[in-house]
Structure 1
């Protein structure tokens, strides 16, 4: 059987991936009130690091305390948050060699909110868990919310430098790549969209001006992160609102990023405006990834209700995207890559502790090279499973 496209190795800069399955960043809202990772992150990332995917991305991580979406968000902005993340990574890496990267972001006007399971509403600056938000312009996300403070030149420099400083910390932690969060209505997206950016200075108005600050942030992070490790960007390709950010502007932004050395672009949509109307369905965001891929040479990641192995294989095999990203699907089924490999005829590299779990009907599922000594006590039964 020919090797499925989904399970062919892939290279991003100097980063070697075993397959085309990316675990997308997923907020857990489970840090302590100072942005430090907890035991939950060790459990959460640990199980995902044993999933058989090619790449694992740490959730949206704030570059300054005011950039957290909720008070329970992870941060990477001081020695304490760096140490907490380092402790989690040390444990996960002890048992998994899956490449791990991080998504760095700033929530902007969508910051200072309650956790999702407690309603997700904005918390006022005088709330015990709240603070004053900032944004491209003083326009709140929801009518009735406290408006963000428009970032002035000093504020822009502070945020840009905070991204670069977080990238330095990420490098010290040995993270394999950095992804910048330019999607879902957070700060970099707020500068890109004319719906949230109504500035009259050189950072507002024309497309060139609206792209200026996100590109400055990218340049600062690229300069701060080791040259041999990838820096990528996640974007929302449309606001799903008339007069907002759209695919044409996304392509222009992608070309500008590529010219600056961006290593990959992860294409999502929405999140900027409460009036968005999203036609949600299987692969509903994949056409946007395809549109970007047709315009650039850097790798493109597709995401959005990709749930079945056949669906993921088709996206990669037909060239709509180079990689696919899973989020809620892999939370529901942390062995999704195993099941996809079994169904498509691919292989995965399992932890040696799980070798005996291989079903006899999928006797070629596990790639055991380097795991099993030729004369070891592990033996295959007649059906091919370990006993």
Structure 2
């Protein structure tokens, strides 16, 4: 899986921020109560978000290869973890910025200890992003790149403080040209709100232009992802899509979308998920089309019958192991598909019926842009 190293990126940003805050040559704003939001992300239950799941998947499937529902659900937990990691990183960056005790508008220019380049940070009171009015904004740029098409922007955050609501956009390449030299145009956006309708809070993670791995090494690397996470009491609901333009299963058909819905306990050990595998160019937001007609089991069955006509049913059944919906997860990861392992899972399985992924065609074509 080719992906941005979120942990490394977090470390370099926090180090950069603290290095700046300790530099006596820089005029920092007065030490007053910070106007930054206290929180800006939601944790997904660990069973549903596993950054170590199913790494190193291989291409070139044949009748002799073992591919079943286990791998699809394990990969799903990896893709959800990538989305959650973006939210975690954004909140941690804001935590680092809190060292400035930002209480008013100001400008800061400094040399980054990480890539040795000059960075500019501007805090403004009052800002508009995509037609929405916000109380505050922060923009960090790579000074030498401000004449580029992207304005050299590394990070922008727009937020309201009283009832927390905001949007954050990050481009790793403009944060550190050394460690993230291969990040290219990768960019992500976190929308967070505690004015959230049916939920106490929700966030939407959108990731665009992730660099793809060589399909001979990993055909399942992500180019784009969009994921909703809602928190109601101790219940977490998740739905979304990740697009994999090089993905293949049993035939030469290429370009699939992991369309998923999931639910579990906040900081708990129970999770339930349902996944569909529609084509990445499918233009539909109908739950039945995405998760029933293009269910994991239906797509695998069609692919196997096309690739291996006349394959004995017992061999087909081996490939279809754990392809029934939904999939069940605990602290050890994926357990099984289809039948519930314990009544404790049932309330979360029932919640899935009210959740619907996004339109796959929209996910394949999505764009994230700075203000």
Bin for the TM-score computed over the shorter chain: under 0.3
Calculate the TM-score normalised by the size of structure 1.
0.26
- The structure that is helix-richer by fraction is 1
Calculate the TM-score normalised by the size of structure 2.
0.27
- The structure that is strand-richer by fraction is 2
